Structure 1
Amino acid sequence: MRKQGGKSKIDRLQKMSQIAGTRVFFFSEREVNIQQKKIRGIYFNEGTKKWSVRFFPFPDVYYNRRGECKSNKKVQRLRKLLDKMRVPKVNSEHYFHKWKSYQLLRKYEELRSHLPETIYFEDKSDLETMFRSNNRLYLKSFRQDNGVGVMCVTKDDDNYECKYFKNEEFIVEHVPSIEQVLVVMESFFRGKGIIVQSPINLLKYNNRSLDLRCDVQRNGKGELEYTAHSVRVGAENSHITNTRSNPEIYRFEPFFIEKLEYSKKEVDRLKAQIEELLKNVYHRMEEIYGAYGEIGVDIGVDRFGSIWVIECNTKPGKNSLWVYDDDTIDRAFLNPLLYAKYLLSNEGHSNQLSLT
């Protein structure tokens, strides 16, 4: 932004801020003076039509786009200060703990059948137990998103195949024993907490697995909107379908009708079932963590038509939306700003929104 380089998401958000009537500025923790409660923020200068820098007071609403940053003390201090100042947040928490979320969601009867079998990993016996009923397992770190902390382990007789992404590189390792799997896991996860999940027999297209990224948001009235359901067809041989794996992305209805040959009636029924599940997931996650302006929910449909909750994401990147029309994309960037105004509707603040 300081170099005036084009950033499609930032430019889109700035454009939507004009429509929403909000003033948006961007900052990282490095630009915050906690003692003086001032922020050196970047904003779009309408006079010069360029990105400019100036000092801002602390914001009226905080829209967190920063990574989880557990080890960054300045980020943690800033978040605690904003909480102490009772600054409203578009999203209540900055991450979903995968094990905690699974445990809590599983308590709700309407969600239980939509969650894959999941256990907390402690030692080799956990893998052995899960392999008794599955020849393939998914291992996920508690905190990491976008496929960073996901490993797929497949058992073939006494041999094991481990797939994962590391430093943007897709790696496949073959090892002869479960003890060697543990060595690969230790190198990959580096002591991070892990859950182990059974696989979902996902629908496939051209012999490649597919899932849905469903962007669910609250609008300027605080109401839920199902902004888009994007189909992600994973790259060949990949164990994940998110944008890290460079999937093919399609709009929901045309894909199921044209590629999978569903009837319009079947698509409408599937969409209604998915949105009912999304509504339940969204409300339950809010009961657990607090109010949210947007959640990206990864949904799987298996070959029997059952619908599964794969994962919930607190800071959806909106990377799967670009196959949609401009109105849909604009709405996805506008809704969080309108929701920010909704949060302030009874507070009497100015409409100044900041992003990290």
Structure 2
Amino acid sequence: MLSRYKTNLNSKQPILGVCAAERTIKRLLKQKETEKITSIKEANKYANISLYFFSAKDVDTKRRRIRGVYYNEKKSLWEKAQFPYPNLIYKTSVLTDKLRVHLLKKKVKPLNYLNGFNKWEVYNNLSRDERCKQYLPLTIMYNSPNDLFEMLKTTDTVYLKACVGRQGKQVIRVIKLPEGGYELSYLKDRLYVHKIDNDNDVVNKIQSFFGEKKFLIQQAIDLITIDKKIVDLRAEVQKNGKGQITVAGIPVRMSQNNAPITTHAQSYSFDYFFKHIMNYSDIEVKELKNKLNQFLNITYQSIEKDYGPIGEIGIDIGLDKKGHLWFIECNSQSRKVSFFKAYDKKTINESSLNLLEYGKYRIKRNV
């Protein structure tokens, strides 16, 4: 039988429930933490909120109870217990629409956006903001094969992206070859590259890949490259305890050879990459960082205007060979893989602390 509330719950502080994968909860009970969980746990020594972790199946909607896992500081062990509904929820894994709606109706405030962002919806929202237009690559919805081939008359390379999809698993790069035909490439368990001679076979391959999913067509950005590896940036942007937008870090990602995207990439801290690999001067690094901070603040504000208060967003950015910044996409549930690879524990823990303090801010200010 589970202990009930024999936990670190502090009635004077908000309760944060972190929704994690079922396998993550099982691992915690075997005393095995992910790097992200360790960071949140360490940050909470300073934030001192009531904190527990749970999977979607642990929620009892009839009794309004959650069978969760918490860290028992006295025993230095992860243990099971029953908890009331939290004041705040941080989503790091799947949450069904039904459960999401239920928790929101019970006035549980989300720290991050509980739905995945729809890329086409976000693009349209940002395109209505005059400040954001300069950062948006040409993008259209795929409604028929003609849309693709008309786009390829104006540019040799496009990306096809599922409107809803994560980790680059629903992305194809299409290159119109100068000698005729096309090259299609995508990442799944490995890099796949197909040379296709005619239009009909291209369409069949694309439709087989996406199935019934809706997808968009986006003009390729002429990204900076190093030895046939494309480079982009993933900014981890968040709110702090004063409700202010802050940039936790901007890891730089370098793809595999000839890969269409930077998933499973090498990662570098922003300063290291631009100073030691790109050989930027200190002044050039500072100027680029200022440009990025302006871009990120504008983009974050614009997204919040449409989706409501958000504690953190992962924003993918392209830097082209002329130095122009481009919005690639945003992520409501960043796994922070590149951030954890590229930055030190102090920076990572400060990021987690900002998120927890923002949760306290939301409750205190009722925002």
TM-score by length of 2: 0.89
Show structure 1 runs of 4+ deviating over 6 A. none
Q: 1:16 aligns with which of 34, 43, 53?
A: 43
Answer whether contact 1:91 1:292 (CA < 8 A) is retained.
Answer: yes
Aligned residue in 1 for 2:304:
286
| 1:71-106 deviations in Å (ceiling 9; x for gaps) | xxxx22211111111211112442211001101101
- The answer to whether 1:163 aligns with 2:177 is no
- The answer to whether 1:122 aligns with 2:105 is no
- The answer to whether 1:254 aligns with 2:272 is yes
Bigger Cα displacement from structure 2, 103-112 vs 276-285: 103-112
Aligned residue in 1 for 2:91:
64
Aligned with 2:348: secondary structure?
helix
Answer whether contact 2:187 2:259 (CA < 8 A) is retained.
Answer: no
Structure 1 residue 346: deviation in Å? 4.2
Structure 2 alignment gaps of length 5 or more: 1-27
Aligned residue in 2 for 1:94:
115
Structure 1 residue 17: deviation in Å? 1.6
Structure 1 alignment gaps of length 5 or more: 70-74, 348-356
Bigger Cα displacement from structure 2, 96-105 vs 85-94: 85-94
CA distance in 1, matches of 2:365, 2:162: 39
The equivalences for 1:1-356 within 5 A come to 1-67=28-94, 75-156=96-177, 157-166=179-188, 168-242=189-263, 246-322=264-340, 323-346=342-365
CA distance in 2, matches of 1:306, 1:92: 28
| 1:109-152 deviations in Å (ceiling 9; x for gaps) | 22111111000001100111110011111000011121111111
| 1:21-51 deviations in Å (ceiling 9; x for gaps) | 1122111111111111111111112232121
CA distance in 2, matches of 1:151, 1:96: 19
| 1:134-185 deviations in Å (ceiling 9; x for gaps) | 111100001112111111111214322211123x222122222222122222
Answer whether contact 1:64 1:94 (CA < 8 A) is retained.
Answer: no
Question: Larger RCO: Structure 1 or Structure 2 (Cα < 8 Å, ≥ 6 residues apart)?
Answer: 1
| 1:277-318 deviations in Å (ceiling 9; x for gaps) | 100000000001111100111111111111101111111111
Structure 1 residue 273: deviation in Å? 0.7
CA distance in 2, matches of 1:137, 1:247: 21
Bigger Cα displacement from structure 2, 7-16 vs 193-202: 7-16
Aligned with 1:214: secondary structure?
strand
Aligned-pair identity (%): 34
> What is the root-mean-square deviation in Å for CA atoms of aligned residues?
1.4
Answer whether contact 2:89 2:108 (CA < 8 A) is retained.
Answer: yes
CA distance in 2, matches of 1:32, 1:161: 47
Structure 1 residue 10: deviation in Å? 1.2
Count of residues in correspondence between the two structures = 337
Answer whether contact 1:230 1:321 (CA < 8 A) is retained.
Answer: yes
Structure 1 residue 205: deviation in Å? 2.1
CA distance in 2, matches of 1:6, 1:88: 25
| 1:206-245 deviations in Å (ceiling 9; x for gaps) | 3321011111110111111111111111111110013xxx
